[in-house]
Amino acid sequence: MRYALKHFLAFMFFMVTIQMIQYLFYMDAYINAFSRISNQKLNFSTSYKSVFWQIALPTGYLIICAYLYILYYIYSVPLRLLIPFNMLQYMMWDACPIFMIDNAYKEWAILLTDSVFAGGVWLLAIPVFNKYYPVMKHHIPLLFAIYCISIMIVLYKAYIYNRKGNENNPLVRIGDKLHLDRIL
């Protein structure tokens, strides 16, 4: 049982970190799309939605990783089936704004891109995990730290997209001191 818990934790922290790094590459386009949909520059800290993001980002992907772990490692679902299944789930999530908000259909390209990359290409990290697990199993605290840092970087980038109201956000102040805005 101990081996299974180590394997599960390493898988979750590794996969969510890969997801966050991948998301950073097209995050601006994704946020721009939702700004155009709502006809205002999206602000992540001045509404109830920011609380949702702060909770959903660290925990939501862990839940996704849990069901992927169960499907892949416990039920032995092959990647050739898991990738389209996960892409379909991401596509349904990204289709919600298209069906619910007027003129959101104009942003179908970035939402489809998110479905393909976040839902499908992301799962190609599983073979990488399988290959390097013998090394990763000894570094679970490091994987957890990298997981936390990757989430904080994504949240920082979301907060600086529209800085109005984010001046006193501790994450923004730390990121600004580290000059993350120049790096990202």
Give the length of the chain.
184
Q: What is the pLDDT of residue 137?
A: 94
Quickly list H helices, the chain: 2-38, 48-69, 79-100, 108-114, 125-136, 140-161, 170-177, 180-183
Q: Quickly state the pLDDT bin for 107 (edges 50, 70, 90).
A: confident
Q: Which residue, 35, 3, 14, 23, is CA-closest to 147?
A: 14
Alpha-carbon distance 137 to 160, whole Å?
35
Name the residue ranges covered by the structural domains of the chain.
2-183
Per-residue pLDDT for 1 more than 60? Answer: no
Alpha-carbon distance 123 to 117, whole Å?
9
Per-residue pLDDT for 61 more than 70? Answer: yes
Highest mean pLDDT among 35-39, 91-95, 151-155, 179-183: 151-155
Q: What angle do CA 118, 99, 52 make, to 5 degrees?
A: 55
Q: Quickly state the pLDDT bin for 46 (edges 50, 70, 90).
A: low
Q: Quickly state the pLDDT bin for 2 (edges 50, 70, 90).
A: low
Mean pLDDT of the chain: 88
Q: What is the pLDDT of residue 3?
A: 58
pTM of whole model > 0.75? yes
- In degrees and rounded to multiples of 5, residue 39 shows phi and psi of 60, 30
